[in-house]
Structure 1
Amino acid sequence: MDTYHNQKATNNNNKSRYLVLADIGNSAIKLGIADTETATIHQYITCETIQDCHEWFKDMPSSQIFYSSVRHGFQVEGLMPNSSWKIISAEPFIEMDALNFKAGLDLGIDRKLACLAAFQVVEQPFLVITMGTATTLSLVLDNTCKFSVIFPGLGLSVKAVNDNTRIMVEPNFEHLDNPAQTTTIQDSVHAGVLFSTVFAIEGWVNYFHQQQQYFPKVIISGGYSNLISKFITTKHIIVPNLTIKGLLKLFLNSKVRKIIQNQT
């Protein structure tokens, strides 16, 4: 099997067929190492710092980084381990794929990419739920985002309790089985944060059913997906790394590829 390690030894004079997809979030940088010839992502990596990214890049041939970023003030050029790498923002190309974001609501680039990836998985209408620093819900119908809400994620909610009260709690939800399991103050915080999120998601899905007559397919992605999945009664699927998969879908769009090739 050809990998980027042996490609480095044999194809140093050619453009790398490998692409780094970078989802720069508020608390971590998630990477996908993709093969553009086979249109597949063969490795996912989570980095806390730029230095962590460079450790992964050091054995790779010079490549392109196709990225999205929601982190305020982040210097994306720092991701490049050296000047032979190229870094390209997904932002200018997001309107060139299947979904019409101009006609819909104002979404962050990460959520737009997640919706693009979901478009390949299920039929419309669908509801994309991302479980990151924030919990987000995005409803897509008729190739347009019709509805969007954002509320604090599980970790951020616990941090708000720690920052504004005398309680100090680590975000640890794995031991909870039901909302009534609150024998300690820590359990009360965990249950309040976790099940408030569960009930909010269920409430929004019921709202679509009853008030809007939408019956969306539900896709969940993000760090707490498996945890939330245990308690949500609505039929749903879990698709990890939606934003990175959306980056690959966008990069492989023929119009986008042509523009990028002309630029490089």
Structure 2
Amino acid sequence: MVLLIDVGNTNIVLGVYENNKYVTSWRISTDAKKTSDEYSIQTMQLFRNAKLNPDNIEGVIISSVVPNIMYSLEHMIRKCFKKEPIVVGPGVRTGINIKYDNPKEVGADRIVNAVAVHEVYKKSAIIIDFGTATTFCALAQNGNYLGGSICPGIRISSDALFEKAAKLPRVELENPGHVICKTTISSMQSGIIYGYIGQVEYIVKKMKQEMISLGEDEPIVIATGGLANLIASETDAIDKVDSNLTLKGLNILFQKNKE
């Protein structure tokens, strides 16, 4: 079995693959203040609840956009699994060619998603990851990572509205079903959700135009992340939601680098 760890700004996703097949995954809060002992207790409890034996983990790979949490996580892995983790970053074989001006600036999560799409779908693609930030990545069919866009995530936008407007409440992120709404809460939900859908559709449209002008076929649009289904259900701009895209990419990278 392989343990896959994707560290985001809000959540850490831990996944287990066996023989290149998904077994299970868990989502816990990202907390840089936790010690390696605290992460060890939490991780071992997850394994016990799932009736998985930690001794069967043959290797561990980590993708992280939170540098100050890595010390605790790496020590947890050495303590619990007696393994030295592969950390996605410079020196890791990916099979894709990053065309950024400075490739080191590309977040590990974006690289992992691009690897998954290149290996699994083998097409020109636009990858949208609905996380703390929403990222749009353009991937050529030959594996060239062309670049992309980064926007505030839906929750960040919603929280900013609540924090900066004195009379507006915090609202659940759910579709009100109408654009013209008759309560403050549903009006906020309408503006947040449909406004974000409009943003997604416009950026996808512009990225497709630029990719086609570079000689690519019309790209497939793949979404992942916690709120991908909420947005995808209201727009034709997204072709497929792949909730396990990052875990797939981490497993692929582990297989490429395990020796």
TM-score of the aligned structures, taking structure 1 as reference length: 0.80
User: Which residue number in structure 2 is paired with residue 60 of structure 1?
Assistant: 53
Describe the SS at the equivalent of 1:82: helix
Query: Structure 2: which amino acid aligns with 1:220?
Result: A
Shift of 1:220: 0.6
State the partner residue of 1:179: 179
| SS of equivalent residue, structure 1 residue 120 | helix
2:227 corresponds to: 224
Residue aligning to 1:109: 108
CA shift, 1:60, in A, is 2.1
Q: What's 1:157 paired with?
A: 157
Indicate conservation of the 8 Å contact 1:134/1:151, yes or no: yes
Q: Which residue of 1 aligns with 2:93?
A: 96
Q: Quick check: 1:117–1:243 contact (8 Å CA) kept in 2? A: yes
2:98–2:146 Cα contact (<8 Å) kept? no
Change (3 A) 1:103 1:205: closer
Q: How far 1:139 sits from its partner (Å)?
A: 0.5
Cross-structure match for 1:243? 246
1:78 and 1:26 map into 2 onto residues whose CA distance is 20
Matched residue, 1:136? 135
State the Cα distance separating 1:112 from its structure 2 match: 0.6
Preserved contact between residue 57 and residue 81 of structure 1 (Cα < 8 Å): no
Equivalent residues of 2:128, 2:136 under 8 A apart:
yes
Secondary structure at the residue paired with 1:194? helix
How far apart are 1:196 and its partner, in Å? 1.9
Q: What is the rounded CA distance, in whole Å, between the counterparts of 2:239 and 2:133 in structure 1?
A: 19
1:210 Cα deviation from its structure 2 partner:
4.1
- Tell me which amino acid in the other structure corresponds to 2:165: T
Equivalent residue of 1:86, what SS?
Answer: coil
Does structure 2 retain, via aligned residues, the 8 Å contact 1:99–1:116? yes
| One-letter amino acid of the counterpart of residue 83, structure 2 | K
Kept in 1, the 8 Å contact 2:112–2:246? The answer is: yes
Report SS of the residue matched to 1:198: helix
Which amino acid letter does the alignment assign opposite residue 205 of structure 1? V
Higher mean displacement: 165-174 or 123-132: 165-174
> Is the 2:8–2:66 Cα contact (8 Å) retained in structure 1?
yes
CA distance in 2, matches of 1:82, 1:60: 15
C-alpha displacement at 1:199, in angstroms? Answer: 0.8
CA separation in 2, counterparts of 1:29 and 1:127?
24
- CA–CA separation in structure 1 for the residues paired with 2:117 and 2:196: 22
Q: Tell me if the contact between 2:99 and 2:147 (Cα under 8 Å) persists in the aligned partners.
A: no
**TM-score w.r.t. length of structure 2:** 0.81
Q: Which residue, out of 1, 10, 19, partners 2:2?
A: 19
Offset at residue 41 of structure 1 (A)? 1.9
- Superposition CA RMSD, Å: 2.3
Report whether the alignment pairs 1:169 with 2:170.
Answer: yes
Letter matched to residue 131 of structure 1: F
Separation in structure 2 between the aligned mates of residue 80 and residue 97 of structure 1, nearest angstrom = 23
Number of residue pairs the alignment of both structures matches: 235
C-alpha distance in 2, partners of 1:231/1:94?
40
Q: Percent same amino acid among aligned pairs?
A: 23
Work out the CA distance in 2 between the residues paired with 1:92 and 1:209: 28
Aligned to 2:79: 82
